[in-house]
């Protein structure tokens, strides 16, 4: 089944290349090679491999491998964090949403942006002060190590694998588009690059790849927005007027509610948008790459600015495309006449809006640049996801649960590199059969698990004194199971994928129920836990809170 835009959150997450290649496969293979895009692609790969070689010499310990030894500045980390958040899917998917639905595209972008600073500023300082390599360290700070690490490690790996599959499919399709290679070969090429970046470069290389990619992406969207506005004399009013006249839904695109009509679906999506990023392992891992809590807060400040700027420009790109692409019939399917139907007639579908607009306003050179940046964006996100997954296996599972802290740094790094290869093989292996399958439900499940399992457990372990191991584990399991079950029973999976006539539930996203259920489970089971261990965990909250706010252990404070 071909993915559609009826799930707004997923439109931000599913790479445009998936939709584009499915509906336009013949055009892809019949097109000529773009030497500019290919040259830029090789240039990016060579530069990032050089960075990896440089970073490999600095990876002398697990701390250097996982966190860059804390030597990354707030500005650098903020740009890298924004790079993790500004995926190619956000760039292409959001501009496609604005192109098809108008103002609603901006509303959904703002919903993610509003949740980002609130939770990230709330979590930045405690995470940096309490954790070591991953957010699982924070959750397990005063709770029983093995059960809580097993739960959060498993949920984190599930989230990582789901997003890896989607990114791998997108990257494979893009290489297939640029080089006209068979899809499976493209997947293997991406997998080899993943292993190289993460296994040898670690967090230092991954961070600099993200920084380069974020800089290129911000430059690309800035140029595209300015070049588009120049067509209207740099007048936003003229741009909106032209878009209204060109769009088949006319002035409806300037008002809210065109994309989603059911309030419960909108509310559920809003919950996922606000809480999801606070459960993404690859985002949370970035707080441990800076030297202290102050730099962690700076990271969020800079990341929020970059992300907000990026979203505003994609809004301009989407509305400019409505007016400008209608003047270029070569971007529409042969046989389209009269007033075009945006979601049907545009070659590649609405998620190819930004790529088509790049060619319309900048010619083949800018088109090649945007194609190369899109690949750079996907590859950078894949590297961050893979590193987060490898850290979860080697540090949270092997080092903390199996070896119980008795392993050497060398052994832990070996496990991390083995995990990287294993995760890559899983991603490539699942990416190949999912080439033509609707991957929207995979993204929805990953986002729902992050918001329903990781986020409630993390927030409660940091801010609620009464949280116990029993409550955190059972509450997290409730969030995990309910998110999976409700996602399977929703229309995107039950009807669109499994081909049933109607869905048992009307919600497209389960967060409205799964998130409150997880919080309720943590509260109820923690209250019911009256064991001696639970009393010790509650009593340990004061010491944890002192460390989370100051970064100093009570023993260190006493000695001074």
Q: State the residue for tokens 């419960």.
A: 264
Task: Report which of residues 276 and 333 the model is more confident about.
Answer: 276
CA nearest neighbour of 20 among 374, 332, 351, 321: 351
Q: Which residues partner with 332 through β-bridges?
A: 346
**Is 510 among the domain residues?**
no
SS3 464: coil
| CATH number for the domain harbouring residue 189 | 1.20.1730.10
**Is 32 among the domain residues?**
yes
In 10 A of CB 151, how many CB atoms? Answer: 24
Segment 23-70, tens digit of pLDDT:
444 444 444 667 877 888 788 888 878 888 887 777 767 777 777 767
DSSP 454: I
Number of domain units in the chain: 1
Which secondary-structure segment (H or E) carries 25? helix 25-30
- The whole-angstrom separation of Cα 52 and Cα 45 is 10
**Is 556 among the domain residues?**
no
Instruction: Give 7's pLDDT tier (boundaries 50, 70, 90).
Output: very low
Give the per-residue pLDDT at 459.
94
**Is 27 among the domain residues?**
yes
**Is 61 among the domain residues?**
yes
Instruction: Give 19's pLDDT tier (boundaries 50, 70, 90).
Output: very low
The highest-confidence range among 282-286, 338-342, 436-440, by mean pLDDT, is 282-286
Quickly list DSSP for 134-185: SHHHHHTSSS-HHHHHHHHHHHHHHHHHHHHHHHHHHHHHHHHHHH---HHH
Query: At 339, phi and psi to the nearest 5?
Result: -75, 115
Mean pLDDT of the chain: 80
Q: Which of 263-270's residues contact partners 24+ apart within 8 Å by CB, and which partners? A: 264/506, 264/507, 264/512, 265/506, 265/507, 265/508, 265/509, 267/512, 268/507, 268/508, 268/509, 268/510, 268/511, 268/512, 268/513, 269/8, 269/9, 269/108, 269/111, 269/508, 269/509, 269/511, 270/111
Give the per-residue pLDDT at 20.
40
The highest-confidence range among 1-5, 183-187, 233-237, 256-260, by mean pLDDT, is 233-237
**Is 460 among the domain residues?**
no
**Is 215 among the domain residues?**
yes
Q: Model-level pTM?
A: 0.82
Q: Does 161 score more than 80 pLDDT?
A: yes
SS3 1: coil
- The whole-angstrom separation of Cα 362 and Cα 305 is 26
Low-confidence winner among 9-23, 73-87, 266-280, 505-519 (lowest mean pLDDT) = 9-23
Q: What residues make up the domain containing 19?
A: 8-435
Task: Report which of residues 369 and 27 the model is more confident about.
Answer: 369
DSSP 450: I
**Is 478 among the domain residues?**
no
Direct distance between the N- and C-terminal alpha carbons of the chain, in angstroms, rounded to an integer: 64
Q: Does 339 score more than 70 pLDDT?
A: no
């Amino acid at each position: 089944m071909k993915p559609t835009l009826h799930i707004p959150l997923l439109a931000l997450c599913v790479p445009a290349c998936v939709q584009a290649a499915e509906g336009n496969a013949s055009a892809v293979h019949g097109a000529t090679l773009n030497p500019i895009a290919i040259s830029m692609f090789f240039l990016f790969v060579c530069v990032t491999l050089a960075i990896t070689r440089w970073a490999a010499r600095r990876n002398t310990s697990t701390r250097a491998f996982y966190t860059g030894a804390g030597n990354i500045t707030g500005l650098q980390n903020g740009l890298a964090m924004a790079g993790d958040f500004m995926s190619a899917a956000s760039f292409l998917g959001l501009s496609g949403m604005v192109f098809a639905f108008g103002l609603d595209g901006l509303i959904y972008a703002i919903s993610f942006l509003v949740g980002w600073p609130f939770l990230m500023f709330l979590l930045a300082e405690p995470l940096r002060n309490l954790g070591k390599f991953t957010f699982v360290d924070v959750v397990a700070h005063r709770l029983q190590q093995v059960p809580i690490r097993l739960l959060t490690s498993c949920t984190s790996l599930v989230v990582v694998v789901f997003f890896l599959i989607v990114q791998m499919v997108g990257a494979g399709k893009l290489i297939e588009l640029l080089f006209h290679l068979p899809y499976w070969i493209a997947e293997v090429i991406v997998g080899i690059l993943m292993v190289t970046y993460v296994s040898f470069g670690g967090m230092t290389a991954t961070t600099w790849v993200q920084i380069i990619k974020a800089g290129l992406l911000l430059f690309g969207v800035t140029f595209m927005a300015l070049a588009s506005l120049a067509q209207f004399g740099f007048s936003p009013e003229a741009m909106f007027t032209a878009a209204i006249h060109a769009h088949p839904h006319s002035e409806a695109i300037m008002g809210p509610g065109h994309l989603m009509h059911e309030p419960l679906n909108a509310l559920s999506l809003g919950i996922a948008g606000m809480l999801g990023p606070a459960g993404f392992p690859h985002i949370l891992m970035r707080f441990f790459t800076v030297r202290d809590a102050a730099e962690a807060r700076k990271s969020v400040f800079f990341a929020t600015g970059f992300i907000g700027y990026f979203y505003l420009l994609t809004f301009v790109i989407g509305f400019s495309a409505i007016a400008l692409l209608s003047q270029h019939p070569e971007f529409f399917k042969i046989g389209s006449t009269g007033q075009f139907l945006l979601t049907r007639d545009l070659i590649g579908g609405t998620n190819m809006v930004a790529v088509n607009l790049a060619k319309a306003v900048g010619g083949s050179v800018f088109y090649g640049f945007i194609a190369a940046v899109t690949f750079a964006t996907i590859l950078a996100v894949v590297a961050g996801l893979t590193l987060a997954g490898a850290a979860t296996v080697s540090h949270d599972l092997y080092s903390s649960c199996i070896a119980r802290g008795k392993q050497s740094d060398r052994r832990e790094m070996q496990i991390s590199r083995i995990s990287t290869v294993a995760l890559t093989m899983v991603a490539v292996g699942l990416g190949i059969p999912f080439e033509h399958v609707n991957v929207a439900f995979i993204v929805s499940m990953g986002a729902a698990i992050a918001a329903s399992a990781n986020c409630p457990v993390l927030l409660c372990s940091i801010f609620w004194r009464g949280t116990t191991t029993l409550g955190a584990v059972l509450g997290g399991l409730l969030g995990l199971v309910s998110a999976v079950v409700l996602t399977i029973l929703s229309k995107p999976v039950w009807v669109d994928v499994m081909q049933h006539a109607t869905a048992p539930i009307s919600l497209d996203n389960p967060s409205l129920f799964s998130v409150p259920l997880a919080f309720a489970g943590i509260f109820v089971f923690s209250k019911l836990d009256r064991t001696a261990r639970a009393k010790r965990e509650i009593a340990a909250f004061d010491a944890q809170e002192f460390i989370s706010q100051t970064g100093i252990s009570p023993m260190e404070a006493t000695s001074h």
